[in-house]
């Protein structure tokens, strides 16, 4: 009888321990999910976009640097802003038509009327300007070279000082890593419209000519080629606050 009582007690203790551990695991997983969602939602809110597509790295990645060009969505025209080359990752300043872009690790400011950029400062290890804050015009979301784990670091650049503050995320979270991968790409949804980079091709005497262009799609309408690069690789688009202008990079020497 005593042996039966002891066995029953041990079984109950084991089940209680397993249940307790399961509760802990559930709580931990819920906390981790909440952290991942918080990171993603925070960045989407910061950028003022409606979602972040899961696969964004594409042919636009072929454009490393080049000239800055501006597409006017109302008139359907494009024009060059710079001529010196070496620019990448342009974004519009919040509440302004002026543009920020990178040349190496230098953060440059370029007027939308055109002309070469004015250097503001250099930021060590910066790789990309993602976008200006829709809530705080003095902040820009950036990417920095990765740490020991190889993943890019996410940061906030303070425009007034040039100081970069790292935004932590959970590198063991699939959702966090998917968000970071999305930030590396160039496709974004703004309400009912999407801006993205797509591949083009045409036949020439020498064979098939391929290049990349910037497209805009509104609701379910057919996509419109807004960069009109016709044989030259273009990419890295960014939409203005009023959603009437797109700045992009056009490769040189093609």
CATH number at residue 54: 2.40.10.500
Q: What is the pLDDT of residue 165?
A: 96
Q: Which of 143, 168, 123, 161 is nearest to 236 (CA)?
A: 143
d(CA 136, CA 244): 21
d(CA 154, CA 131): 12
User: What's the predicted TM-score (pTM) here?
Assistant: 0.81
Q: What is the pLDDT of residue 33?
A: 44
Q: 75 lies in which domain range? A: 27-185+236-250
Tokens encoding 155:
């940061």
d(CA 215, CA 187): 10
d(CA 223, CA 227): 12
Q: What is the pLDDT of residue 207?
A: 86
**Looking at residue 91, what DSSP letter applies?**
E
Residue 213 lies in a domain: no
d(CA 55, CA 195): 14
Residue 21 lies in a domain: no
Residue 192 lies in a domain: no
Residue 212 lies in a domain: no
Sign of CA dihedral 7, 12, 18, 24: negative
Residue 8 lies in a domain: no
Residue 76 lies in a domain: yes
| Number of domains, the chain | 1
Residue 191 lies in a domain: no
Sign of CA dihedral 227, 229, 235, 236: negative
Contact (Cβ atoms closer than 8 angstroms) between residue 44 and residue 36? no
Residue 131 lies in a domain: yes
For the chain, 254 residues long, give each residue's pLDDT as a single digit of tens: 444 333 333 334 344 444 444 444 444 444 444 444 588 888 878 887 766 554 444 444 468 999 999 999 999 999 999 998 999 999 999 888 899 999 999 999 999 899 988 999 999 999 999 999 877 889 999 999 987 788 999 999 999 999 999 999 998 998 899 899 889 989 988 889 999 999 999 888 888 989 999 999 999 999 999 999 999 999 999 999 899 999 999 998 65
């Amino acid at each position: 009888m005593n042996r039966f009582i002891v066995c029953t007690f041990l079984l109950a203790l084991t089940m209680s321990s397993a249940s307790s551990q399961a509760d802990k695991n559930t709580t931990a997983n819920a906390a981790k999910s909440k952290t991942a969602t918080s990171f993603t939602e925070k960045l989407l809110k910061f950028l003022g976009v409606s979602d972040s597509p899961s696969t964004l790295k594409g042919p636009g990645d072929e454009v490393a640097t080049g000239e800055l060009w501006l597409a006017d969505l109302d008139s359907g025209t494009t024009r060059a802003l710079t001529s010196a080359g070496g620019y990448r990752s342009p974004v519009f300043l919040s509440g302004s038509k002026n543009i920020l872009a990178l040349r190496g690790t230098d953060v440059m400011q370029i007027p939308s009327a055109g002309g070469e950029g004015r250097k503001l400062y250099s930021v060590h290890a910066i790789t990309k300007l993602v976008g200006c804050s829709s809530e705080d015009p003095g902040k820009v979301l950036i990417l920095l070279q990765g740490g020991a784990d190889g993943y890019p670091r996410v940061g906030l650049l303070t425009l007034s000082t040039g100081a970069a503050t790292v935004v932590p995320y959970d590198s063991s979270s699939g959702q966090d890593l998917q968000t970071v991968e999305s930030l590396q790409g160039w496709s974004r949804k703004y309400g009912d419209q999407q801006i993205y980079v797509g591949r083009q091709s045409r036949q020439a005497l020498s064979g098939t000519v391929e290049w990349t262009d910037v497209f805009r799609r509104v609701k379910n309408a057919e996509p419109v080629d807004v960069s009109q690069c016709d044989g030259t690789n273009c990419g890295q688009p960014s939409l203005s606050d009023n959603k009437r202008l797109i700045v992009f990079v056009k490769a040189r020497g093609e």
